[in-house]
Amino acid sequence: MNYQIVTDSCCDFPKEVYGELKLTMVPLSVEFRGEVYDDKNDDSLKDMYNGLRAGEVAKTAAVNPERWAAAMEPSLAAGQDVLVLAFSSGLSTTYQSAVIAAQELKEKYPERKIFTVDTLSASMGQGLLVWYACQKRDAGMTVEELYAWVEDAKLHLCHWFTVDDLMYLKRGGRVSAATALVGTMLQIKPVLHMDDEGHLISMAKARGRKASLDALARKAQELGQGYDNSTMFISHGDCREDAEYLARVLKEQYGVKEVRIGYVGAVIGSHSGPGTVALFFLGQHR
């Protein structure tokens, strides 16, 4: 392999998956209860989610150019090219920092190729795009071919999700206070997606939690026609039973063969809150 794929922690993979996929990962950071730590995705997240439920607040920070450069340079120094797949520019400055780092390193390693991709993706949607990229790499794609494939595929990487409590979206400015209050009283659950600019957009409303989860499955069936979606990813904000319900619907009603379930990590979970369930698949459009 003459190139290295570098990504960031907003893939929301468990730590061991980065090693299994032969990825270099750069973490974003989280400040919670006065402590600053690298973004993580493991069972210790339960404590953060319980804190968020109790009204505590977590703050997050993007990857800076220096940290990106430190992650890329060992591969460049070893004679490898680099392909960077970064968290959506619609939600973070992480991608812009990767571009700055790449420009500086190109001057130092003019013989090497460095490609940077704004995935316009988040959580295990970014993870699914990276996972596909690793399959293509292992099948023998060159770095130029893979860069072109990812740029073409990223707007077919569908992100559809719902939340159990509208108040977290209100805090992030995604819905108004009045909408959040009325929606909470009436048990209205929003169905949202990530658009072509990598922003979160409210698309529909469902009455009740189960209806909102069923709506995600129907979206996959509607948009996924003509695409190989034998594998889909689901991420959840400390509500695994809901994620497992959605996975059963996908398998039993729509014939999906494999559904990989994981946590929404600390950085994204700080903003989306407990009770988020997100479904990721390939489709005609986002």
| Model pLDDT for residues 97-107, shown as the tens digit of each residue | 999 999 999 99
CB 149 within 8 A of CB 136: yes
Ramachandran assignment for 123, one of left (phi > 0), alpha (psi -120 to 50 degrees), beta (any other) = left
Residue 175 has pLDDT above 80, yes or no: no
Exposure letters 38-67 (e unless 16+ CB within 10 A, then b) = ebbbeeebeebbeebeeeeebebebbbbeb
**CATH number of the domain enclosing 234:** 3.30.1180.10
Confidence of residue 248 (pLDDT cuts 50, 70, 90): very high
Specify the pLDDT at position 173: 65
Least confident among 177-186, 219-228, 235-244: 177-186
Sequence letter at residue 210? K
| Model pLDDT for residues 76-121, shown as the tens digit of each residue | 999 999 999 999 999 999 999 999 999 999 999 999 999 999 999 9
Confidence of residue 229 (pLDDT cuts 50, 70, 90): very high
Give the end of a domain, one of 127, 155, 183. Answer: 155
| Model pLDDT for residues 117-169, shown as the tens digit of each residue | 999 999 999 999 999 999 999 999 999 999 999 999 999 999 999 988 777 76
**CATH number of the domain enclosing 84:** 3.40.50.10170
Give the end of a domain, one of 155, 190, 207. Answer: 155
Same domain, 139 and 202: no
Same domain, 11 and 118: yes
As a residue count, the chain comes to 286
Confidence of residue 187 (pLDDT cuts 50, 70, 90): confident
Same domain, 214 and 268: yes
Host domain of residue 72: 3-155
Same domain, 246 and 125: no
The Cβ of residue 7 has, within 10 Å, a number of other Cβ atoms equal to 28
| Residue 161 structure tokens | 């999700």
What's this model's pTM, rounded to 2 decimal places? 0.94
Residue 178 has pLDDT above 80, yes or no: no
Same domain, 232 and 165: yes
Q: CA 21, CA 173: separation in Å to the nearest integer?
A: 36
Same domain, 138 and 165: no
Residue 71 has pLDDT above 80, yes or no: yes
Give the end of a domain, one of 135, 155, 175. Answer: 155
Specify the pLDDT at position 221: 96
Same domain, 220 and 205: yes
Q: CA 280, CA 5: separation in Å to the nearest integer?
A: 21
Same domain, 118 and 177: no
Residue 185 has pLDDT above 90, yes or no: no
Same domain, 129 and 219: no
pLDDT average, residue stretch 216-230: 96
* Number of domains observed in the structure of the chain: 2
Specify the pLDDT at position 174: 60
pLDDT average, residue stretch 262-281: 95
Q: CA 175, CA 66: separation in Å to the nearest integer?
A: 35
End-to-end CA distance of the chain: 32
Same domain, 71 and 123: yes
Q: CA 144, CA 151: separation in Å to the nearest integer?
A: 11
Confidence of residue 188 (pLDDT cuts 50, 70, 90): confident
